Amino acid sequence: MAGRVLTCQIDGQDVSGLEESTILEVAREHHIRIPTLCHVPGLPEAGACRVCLVEVEGAARLLPACVTRIAEGMKVKTESERLLKYRRMTVEMLFAERNHICSVCVSNGHCDLQWLAQTLGVDHIRFPYRYPALPVDSSHARFVADHNRCVLCLRCVRVCGEIEGAHTWDVMGRGADCLVITDLAQPWGESASCTSCGKCVQVCPTGALSEKGKSAGEMAKQRRFLPYLTLMRGGNHV
Amino acid sequence: MSPDEIRGMAEREREHQAGRSCVLQVCTAAGCQPMQSVEIKTALEAEAKARGIGEHQCQVKSVGCLGLCGSGPLVRREPDGAMYQRVTPGDAPAILDSLGSAPPTHLFLDTRQPFFARQTRIVTANSGRIDPERLEDYLAAGGYATLARVLTEMSPQEVIGEITRSGLRGRGGGGYPTGLKWSTVAKSPGTPKTIICNADEGDPGAFMDRSVLESDPHRMIEGMLIAAYAVGASEGYIYIRAEYPLAIARLKTALRHAERHGLLGNNICGTRFNLRIELRLGAGAFVCGEETALIASIEGNRGTPRPRPPYPAERGLFGHPTLINNVETYANVPSILERGGEWFAGIGTERSKGTKVFALTGSIANTGLIEVPMGITLRDIVFEIGGGVPEGARFKAVQTGGPSGGCIPEQYLNTPVDYESLMSLGSIMGSGGMIIMDDSSSMIDVARYFMEFCMTESCGKCIPCRMGTVEMHELLGRFLNGSAAKADLDLLEDLCEMVKSTSLCGLGQSAPNPVLTTLRYFRPEYDAALAAGGR
Ligand SMILES: Cc1cc2nc3c(=O)[nH]c(=O)nc-3n(C[C@H](O)[C@H](O)[C@H](O)COP(=O)(O)O)c2cc1C
Ligand code: SF4
Ligand code: SF4
Ligand code: FES
């Protein structure tokens, strides 16, 4: 893993990191907080949620901190009025898109989306709610998939494909019609590839995937297996 | 085939063709084919036979697009180049009667009109001239001679140097300098290198690439071969949408002929250069034209984009350095190497070189395909070449760049067509769709039409595009049904800015463009909608 050490600036602070590190990794090492949603340490990045976008001097566009590698002399700004506005709008859209009724959700109080809304100060949603009619799949013996609470972060797809190696989860449809599916859109309980390991449930940021038998607010997720597996497989993690 | 064999075969075909006193070229491309052009060809052949006119006297030949699709089916006559329009199979006797004299008035198409006279044909030089299903025809027109010379006399670096000198930029929409892209791929470590032709062409109203492939498939293949040699690629793919059955069939024929004659495969032209090309059919998702989604699709995955960098030039198909260019970009390559980068750089403007093929559609007299030098003004395209909007209507706007572009109003019609100028107007060059709108169209409706397209074509991976397009579509709908309030306008403007700045790929990043340009140039329509709603 030995590589060159690069120096750069994040929010005016001089920092250093190994070549090939992402802005997010270096920022976290230096206790600079960048909000994230689809990023989970130990999973391949999706770059999908756009919450971690930062301003990089000289770059024409905003760049996702979770996938953008640092460069010598790079100047990064992780907070600005513009970034905050966009991050808030992103979270508002996620809430408006599906049916997130926190008070009755199994993950109430342990939810990454909720936490994101709180830290960004999202107190109302300007967008019309779409109230889509979405299914709940409770066919699995131990788990439930509730599409009303899915934010399409693809964590389940990635952990199942890349860590468990089962590739039970995938996505079907396009645009707002996207749904995560098990096998070829069969009920989860009938999936031939699912090993019932539960990794997807643990990485899911919201109450979309949960264990059966939990009541409102009881579904706290256990993610410590990921840093452990990453370490044992010879990777590094943040 | 060795260079000598290519020369020999071309020579024989040219002699053969020179022996014919007349050729009737019938367009059998996708524009004219649904209007019985194949039947017209059969009727012409039968009529000639009935009159005892032999092939050497008058040959009836299937060719690609003749350009003025809106007046089709078209037939062209050699050697004088006269053209017949709106032909039906029943016109066969009249056409044969007129050989040697002017076409009858009801069929006569004036080829001296600006539509034909103002074009500069490089990419479409052979379109409507050669039979796209005969390798011999392409050879007789000088085809593959450049490839043979490149492979035997030039180093890959020299080829890249020539492309760089030419100033060619990508014709797929982004306008990235082609020479720079090639040299990056050439320098990227890792084998095997891959070369991809992007023939996905998903913009509504665009059919330039389809036409090139239906009219002159070997030109694109030759361009790809030269590119592969320059960057050191040995594997090739053509990604083409399944909705183009005729283009696919003609490409397959061309690939088969090229393979059979040793122009594809191992030891091409007797050198050590190898290239295999495979066809991949896209299932009609617009986003699969985006290069990283296209690569994912070829890899057998769901066609969704991934963040760049790394760019495909560094890490592309299956992680290998990959060159991906558009059909028209490759189709320019043989001519550039034949006539030199300097020659190409002499056409066009300071930063946009060569020509561009456009598909003219909408409220315009001459619907069809044109190739014009960069730097020509929009006014010349619309009013000279296009013949203006039909009688009784008034020009309102020209839309370039499809769902990623914008609507340009009358006061900017003197803008030269080049990448930077169009961008400064809030639109883009795009891949070449050009839709003309008259005063009967509501610009809010136009904006909503493109937003609906982006909304249904969004891959759904990132939230700004997935939901932002839905929200913008809904807000535009409020303006159309009179229920919009001032707050909706503010939200719409915020959304445009946010979706443009935060989306993952070009689809989302450019989806607001039609809204932004109509807000910029046709604001009164939005204000009127607000006033009408009384809010
Ligand atoms: C949503 C989207 C759709 C695209 N569709 C096409 C297409 O249909 N054909 C194409 O050549 N390029 C398309 N592109 C551009 C490609 O990503 C890529 O830039 C291009 O193929 C590169 O070739 P060029 O340099 O020759 O233009 C599209 C880009 C986006 C963002
Ligand atoms: S089910 Fe959970 S982990 Fe999977 S995409 Fe939805 S929110 Fe993400
Ligand atoms: S911008 Fe749209 S099409 Fe592109 S990745 Fe995001 S959702 Fe998919
Ligand atoms: S955390 Fe970077 S895009 Fe989601």
Cα–Cα–Cα angle for B375, B378, B379, nearest 5°? 120
Query: Would A20 be classed as within a structural domain?
Result: yes
Residue A229: predicted pLDDT: 86
- 3-state class of A209 per DSSP? strand
| DSSP states along B464-504 | HHHHHHHHHHHHHHHHHHT---HHHHHHHHHHHHHHHHH-S
Same structural domain, A167 and A219: yes
What 8-state DSSP symbol labels residue A161?
Answer: I
What 8-state DSSP symbol labels residue B381?
Answer: I
Nearest to A97 by CA among B463, B461, B492, B484: B463
CB-CB under 8 Å, B470 with A130: yes
CB-CB under 8 Å, A175 with B466: yes
- Return the structure tokens found at B195: 């070369």
> What's the whole-number mean pLDDT along residues A26-42?
96
**Last residue of one domain, picked from the residues B436, B465, B497:** B436
Query: Would B39 be classed as within a structural domain?
Result: yes
The rounded Å distance from CA B329 to ligand 1 centre is 11
Same structural domain, B203 and B331: yes
In this structure, the number of other CB atoms found within 10 A of the CB of residue B154 comes to 18
**Last residue of one domain, picked from the residues B436, B460, B490:** B436
**Last residue of one domain, picked from the residues A79, A99, A129:** A79
Contacts of B218 (CB under 8 A, 6+ apart): B132, B135, B138, B143, B144, B254, B258
Same structural domain, B69 and B203: no
Same structural domain, A15 and A127: no
Same structural domain, B153 and B283: yes
Q: Which domain holds residue B303?
A: 142-345
Nearest to B90 by CA among B46, B25, B31: B46
Give the span between the Cα atoms of A39 and B528, in whole angstroms. Answer: 45
* Chain B residues close to A170, C-beta within 8 Å: 302
Same structural domain, B151 and B102: no
Dihedral (Cα; B87, B90, B96, B99), 10-degree rounding: -30
Q: Which residue lies with its CA nearest to atom 3 of ligand 4? A: A47
**Last residue of one domain, picked from the residues A52, A79, A106:** A79
**Are residues B336 and B168 in contact, defined by beta-carbon separation less than 8 angstroms?**
yes
**Are residues B269 and B139 in contact, defined by beta-carbon separation less than 8 angstroms?**
no
- Radius of gyration (Cα) for chain A, nearest Å? 19
Nearest-ligand number for the alpha carbon of B428:
1
In this structure, the number of other CB atoms found within 10 A of the CB of residue B35 comes to 17
Residue A237 predicted with pLDDT over 60: no
Same structural domain, A146 and A195: yes
- φ, ψ for residue B287, nearest 5 deg: -65, -20
Same structural domain, A71 and A101: no
Give the span between the Cα atoms of B123 and B125, in whole angstroms. Answer: 6
CA-to-CA dists, residue A235 to A25, A67, A229, B296, angstroms? 13, 16, 9, 25
Strands (E), A41-154: 53-56, 63-64, 75-77, 136-137, 143-146
* Chain A residues close to B292, C-beta within 8 Å: none
Same structural domain, A205 and A95: yes
Give the span between the Cα atoms of B31 and B37, in whole angstroms. Answer: 9
CATH code of the domain containing A18: 3.10.20.740
Find residue B27's DSSP bridge partners.
Answer: B63
Query: Would A235 be classed as within a structural domain?
Result: no
Query: Would A134 be classed as within a structural domain?
Result: yes
Find residue A75's DSSP bridge partners.
Answer: A9
Give the span between the Cα atoms of A111 and B387, in whole angstroms. Answer: 61
Residue B409: predicted pLDDT: 97
Give the helix/strand (H/E) hosting B362: strand B355-362
Nearest to B66 by CA among B4, B142, B125: B125
Query: Would B118 be classed as within a structural domain?
Result: no
CATH code of the domain containing B217: 3.40.50.11540
CB-CB under 8 Å, A94 with B461: no
**Are residues B227 and B198 in contact, defined by beta-carbon separation less than 8 angstroms?**
no
**Residue A231's pLDDT band (cuts 50, 70, 90):** confident
Residue written as token pair 């290998």: B320
CA-to-CA dists, residue B312 to A34, B185, B296, B325, angstroms? 28, 9, 11, 11
Residue A85 predicted with pLDDT over 50: yes
Same structural domain, B470 and B378: no
Residues of chain B short of pLDDT 50, as ranges, are none
Give me the sign of the Cα torsion angle B519, B524, B527, B532. negative
Give the span between the Cα atoms of A162 and B240, in whole angstroms. Answer: 30
Same structural domain, A138 and A205: yes
Same structural domain, B392 and B493: no
Give the span between the Cα atoms of B107 and B129, in whole angstroms. Answer: 20
Query: Would A236 be classed as within a structural domain?
Result: no
Query: Would B237 be classed as within a structural domain?
Result: yes
**Residue A80's pLDDT band (cuts 50, 70, 90):** very high
Same structural domain, A139 and A210: yes
Same structural domain, B339 and B209: yes
- Radius of gyration (Cα) for chain B, nearest Å? 24
Query: Would A238 be classed as within a structural domain?
Result: no
**Last residue of one domain, picked from the residues A79, A108, A129:** A79
The rounded Å distance from CA B460 to ligand 3 centre is 6
Query: Would A48 be classed as within a structural domain?
Result: yes
Query: Would B101 be classed as within a structural domain?
Result: yes
CA distance A220 to chain B (A): 25
**Last residue of one domain, picked from the residues B345, B380, B410:** B345
- 3-state class of B333 per DSSP? helix
The residue in chain B having the minimum alpha-carbon distance to the alpha carbon of residue A38 is B462
- Return the structure tokens found at B21: 């006193």
Give the span between the Cα atoms of B275 and B524, in whole angstroms. Answer: 56
Residue A238: predicted pLDDT: 46
CATH code of the domain containing B78: 3.40.30.10
Query: Would A183 be classed as within a structural domain?
Result: yes
Give the span between the Cα atoms of B318 and B304, in whole angstroms. Answer: 15
Give the span between the Cα atoms of A40 and A238, in whole angstroms. Answer: 9
The number of helix segments (H) and strand segments (E) in chain A equals 6, 10
Residue A235: predicted pLDDT: 65
CB nearest A176 (choices: B307, B466, B495)? B466
Give the span between the Cα atoms of B225 and A151, in whole angstroms. Answer: 45
Find residue B61's DSSP bridge partners.
Answer: B25
- Return the structure tokens found at B78: 């050699």
Nearest-ligand number for the alpha carbon of B467:
3
Give me the sign of the Cα torsion angle B377, B383, B385, B390. positive
- pLDDT tens-digit readout, A181-213: 999 999 999 999 999 999 999 999 999 999 999
Give the span between the Cα atoms of B184 and A26, in whole angstroms. Answer: 28
CB-CB under 8 Å, B306 with A93: no
Query: Would B414 be classed as within a structural domain?
Result: yes
Same structural domain, A110 and A222: yes
Residue A236: predicted pLDDT: 57
Same structural domain, B190 and B280: yes
Same structural domain, B86 and B180: no
- pLDDT tens-digit readout, A40-75: 999 999 999 999 999 999 999 999 999 999 999 999
Hey, what amino acid is at B63? V
Q: Is B149 exposed, middle or buried (0-12, 13-18, 19+ CB in 10 A)?
A: middle
CATH code of the domain containing B415: 3.10.20.600
Q: Judge if the upstream peptide bond of residue B156 is cis by omega within 30 degrees of 0.
A: no
Give the span between the Cα atoms of A134 and A178, in whole angstroms. Answer: 11
Same structural domain, A114 and A173: yes
The distance from CA B122 to its chain's CA centroid, rounded to whole angstroms, is 13
Nearest-ligand number for the alpha carbon of A41:
4
Same structural domain, B321 and B405: no
Same structural domain, A186 and A223: yes
> What's the whole-number mean pLDDT along residues A80-98?
97
Give the helix/strand (H/E) hosting B249: helix B245-260
CB-CB under 8 Å, B498 with A130: no
Q: Which domain holds residue A64?
A: 5-79
Give the span between the Cα atoms of B321 and B317, in whole angstroms. Answer: 7
How many structural domains is chain A composed of? 2
The rounded Å distance from CA B339 to ligand 4 centre is 48
Q: Is B400 exposed, middle or buried (0-12, 13-18, 19+ CB in 10 A)?
A: buried
Same structural domain, B88 and B146: no
Strands (E), B256-335: 276-282, 322-326
CATH code of the domain containing B510: 1.20.1440.230
CB nearest B467 (choices: A62, A171, A176)? A176
How many structural domains is chain B composed of? 4
Same structural domain, A63 and A146: no
- 3-state class of A191 per DSSP? coil
Residue A227: predicted pLDDT: 85
Query: Would A98 be classed as within a structural domain?
Result: yes
Rounded to two decimals, the pTM is 0.95
In this structure, the number of other CB atoms found within 10 A of the CB of residue B319 comes to 11
Same structural domain, B190 and B286: yes
Same structural domain, A66 and A183: no
Strands (E), A128-215: 136-137, 143-146, 169-172, 179-182, 209-211
